[in-house]
Amino acid sequence: MFIRRSALACACAVMTLVAGAASAEPQKLTFSVFEPPQAFGPAKVYGPWAQDVTAASGGTMEVEMLAGGQLGAPAAQLEIVQNGVADIAIIIPSFTPGRFPGNEIAELPFLWDDPTVAGIAVTRLVEKGLLKYPGVKVLAADVTGPYQVHASKPVNSLDDMKGLRLRAAGPVFAQATALLGATPVGMPTPSVAENISRGVLDGTLQDWTLVNAFRIIDATPHHFDFPMGGVTALLVMNQQVYDELPDEAKAVLEEYGGAAFARRWGDVLKAEERAVREQVQADPDQTAVSPDAAEAARWTEALQPVVDDWAAKSPENAALLEAFKAELDAAASAAN
């Protein structure tokens, strides 16, 4: 009888250990990124972020990044998170125009020139409920580098913009382009370099990292460095999956999300931008013009209607603009 009881006790102990081991298995989370794995975002920010979150989670979760659009096209990333095809994804809200009111706030020109500051400001607007993205859990927000003019023809002043055909995505950038005297053309980024080479376009509005990553820089030897606004991206998670995570895992996502993620993205991005600028400066066939105060004032005056018109569309826009300016000031002060 004693032997039987001992055997039974051992069996129960083994079963308890097995059950404990099973319950200790980390929850595997798929992280969808539409950019190719060698691109700047996946290689230098998103991949390392996934590794850091996994390591810090105490074995409660394992984040696996799937880059290159394996789970869906860029514009489908929001849907695949909502449908549970991916647990986490990088989404570009402007790919669904009109769905998220106020999202284009960071696209307004000349308000900021530091993506770290802009990313933290947008993050604060999300945290305060001034920017809403229903249907997903927003872990963090970030902003591209400020868009600049990159052209196949010399651009030394506002006068040189007249008649240029520039790629400009979305209504805010299109209005800005038109006010500068150029003609806006909608076109996906991967098609820009070829169409500049064919003479369909004279240039583009984009940030330094994108013109380098898509080799647009080879077709645009002339660059005018004036901040034209940027595009917001979100790190989002399926709400139900997030809700079911243990508290330890949620705490890690909070620690590595929010302003910390915006700062991480922005600081790495600025280093990348500096490298591209240095590459341009070292190339005798490339020129980059930084306007003096008088010329920058001309561009600001020409582009002021973009900001004013956007704010005048609704009281909500006007209030959001003031809140964004305040958050920019706060983030800039904290960085200094």
Model pLDDT for residues 36-92, shown as the tens digit of each residue: 898 889 999 999 999 999 999 999 999 999 999 999 998 999 999 999 999 999 999
pLDDT at 24 (0 to 100): 65
Please tell me whether residue 257 adopts helix, strand or coil conformation. Answer: coil
CATH number of the domain within which 74 lies? 3.40.190.170
Q: Are residues 220 and 162 in the same domain?
A: yes
Q: What is the DSSP letter of 333?
A: H
Tokens of 65: 């990044």
Burial category of 26 from C-beta neighbours within 10 Å (exposed 0-12, middle 13-18, buried 19 and up): middle
- pLDDT confidence of residue 276: 95
**pLDDT tens readout for residues 107-161:** 999 999 999 999 999 999 999 999 999 999 999 999 999 999 999 999 999 999 9
Question: Based on the domain organization, do 36 and 138 belong to the same domain?
Answer: yes
3-class DSSP state of 52: helix
290 and 154 fall within a common domain: yes
Q: What is the mean pLDDT of residues 303-317?
A: 98
- pLDDT at residue 39, rounded to an integer: 85
Which of 245, 272, 299 is the last residue in one of the domains?
272
Q: What amino acid occupies position 219? A: A
Residue 2 lies in a domain: no
C-alpha distances in angstroms, 115 versus 63, 142, 171? Answer: 26, 8, 21
pLDDT at residue 15 greater than cutoff 70: no
Mark whether 48 and 85 lie in a shared domain: yes
Q: Quickly state the pLDDT bin for 22 (edges 50, 70, 90).
A: very low
With bands split at pLDDT 50, 70 and 90, how would you rate the model's confidence at 19? Answer: very low
38 in the same domain as 153: no
Determine how many CB atoms are found less than 10 A away from the CB of residue 36: 13
DSSP-assigned letter for residue 55: H
- Residues 56, 84: one domain? yes
Mean pLDDT, rounded, for 244-262: 96
The sign of the CA dihedral 72, 78, 83, 86 is positive
Q: Which pair of structure tokens corresponds to residue 159? A: 């006068």
Angular region, 281: left φ>0, alpha ψ -120 to 50, beta rest: alpha
Number of domains comprising the chain: 2
Is the pLDDT score of 2 beyond 80? no
Q: Output Rg (C-alpha) for the chain, integer angstroms.
A: 24
- Residue 45 placed within a domain: yes
Do 201 and 331 share a domain, yes or no? yes
Residues 211-217: what's their mean pLDDT?
A: 91
Predicted pLDDT at 9: 46
Same domain, 71 and 153: no
> Given a cut of 60, is residue 12 above it in pLDDT?
no
Residues 215 and 282: beta-carbon distance below 8 Å: no
- Does the predicted model carry a pTM greater than 0.85? yes
Widest distance between CA atoms in the chain: 99
Query: What average pLDDT is seen over the chain?
Result: 92
Residue 32 domain-assigned? yes
For residues 58 and 131, membership in a common domain is answered with yes
**Same domain for 48 and 188?**
no
pLDDT tops 50 at residue 4: no
* Residue 203 domain flag: yes
Torsion of CA 111, 157, 192, 94, to 10 degrees: 20
Terminal CA-CA length for the chain: 76
| Token reading at 170 | 């979305």
Q: Would 9 be classed as within a structural domain?
A: no
Question: Closest by alpha carbon to 49, among 241, 232, 246, 263?
Answer: 263
- Judge whether residue 5 has pLDDT over 90: no
C-alpha 260/C-alpha 238 separation (Å) is 20
- Asked whether residue 277 is assigned to any structural domain, the reply reads no
Report the pLDDT value the prediction gives residue 97, as an integer from 0 to 100.
84
The reply to whether 206 and 288 lie within a common domain is: yes
Tell me, yes or no, whether 201 lies in a domain. Answer: yes
Does 85 map to a domain? yes
Chain centre to alpha carbon of residue 111: 17
Short-list 208, 328, 333, 194, CA closest to 280: 208
Residue 60 CA to residue 314 CA, distance in Å, equals 45
Q: Which of 37, 108, 101 is nearest to 68 (CA)?
A: 37
pLDDT score of 298 more than 90: yes
Task: Find the domain containing 108 and state its range.
Answer: 28-144+231-272
Q: Domain check: are 93 and 220 in the same one?
A: no
Does the pLDDT at position 16 exceed 60? no
C-alpha neighbours within 13 Å on the C-beta side of residue 190: 3
